[in-house]
Amino acid sequence: DADVTQTPRNRITKTGKRIMLECSQTKGHDRMYWYRQDPGLGLRLIYYSFDVKDINKGEISDGYSVSRQAQAKFSLSLESAIPNQTALYFCATSDRLFLNEQFFGPGTRLTVL
Amino acid sequence: QQQVKQSPQSLIVQKGGISIINCAYENTAFDYFPWYQQFPGKGPALLIAIRPDVSEKKEGRFTISFNKSAKQFSLHIMDSQPGDSATYFCAASRNNAGNMLTFGGGTRLMVKP
């Protein structure tokens, strides 16, 4: 969905490096999410934010941190990347009035060597 | 422990055939069951969804069948087309938990011409 953008789209990094993935949305939604996708495991929630001042841990938050800089921007950081964080990362948004549909960005493929 | 189990992991169907993907859930508090479709290089997008007060929902060639007592639901794609080749994810959420989605592991569908 072009309304949800992610940068970078691909990233290769080394173990121990700090990485930031960025997400921006023009949908005007107040809720934003970060997921990781691994083969056979589907999408698992890392962090979510219901508004700028409300940030919550998801199912697999260890090793990750987030920042909600504005309603439209939600960043995911890996403070010290490790190889098992190699995955496809997705940002998503939803509207508080229509909670059930989430709109996903195109994803960031991260490889940690 | 996956709360939503999806099968099969991969599926090959001939053009014109019926594709069937199954999901089972454990948490009886789930009250919304969507299916997401993901094409290569794209983020997932909502395809169709059902609530447990109905046993079936149909949208074009896509049908969800829901069995509350068995805690199972399935996606049927009638007259499958090569353009339906994608990865499909079932999911579940509950209204009193902020509508957070729990995804199944995904099914990679290939429709052969």
Find the angle CA(A61)-CA(A59)-CA(A92) to the nearest 5 degrees: 85
Task: Give pLDDT tens digits for A4-40.
Answer: 999 999 999 999 999 999 999 999 999 999 999 998 8
A42 touches chain B (CB under 8 A): yes
Question: Are A70 and A6 within 8 A, CB to CB?
Answer: no
pLDDT digits (tens, 9 = 90+) for B10-40: 999 999 999 999 999 999 989 899 999 999 9
Across the range A73-89, mean pLDDT stands at 97
**Alpha-carbon gap, residue A98 to B97, rounded angstroms:** 14
Which of A43, A51, A54, A60 is most worth mutating to test chain B (most B CB atoms within 10 A of its CB)? A43
Cβ pairs bridging A and B (under 8 Å)? 54
Q: Which of A45, A102, A109 to mutate to test the interface with B (most CBs of B within 10 A)?
A: A102
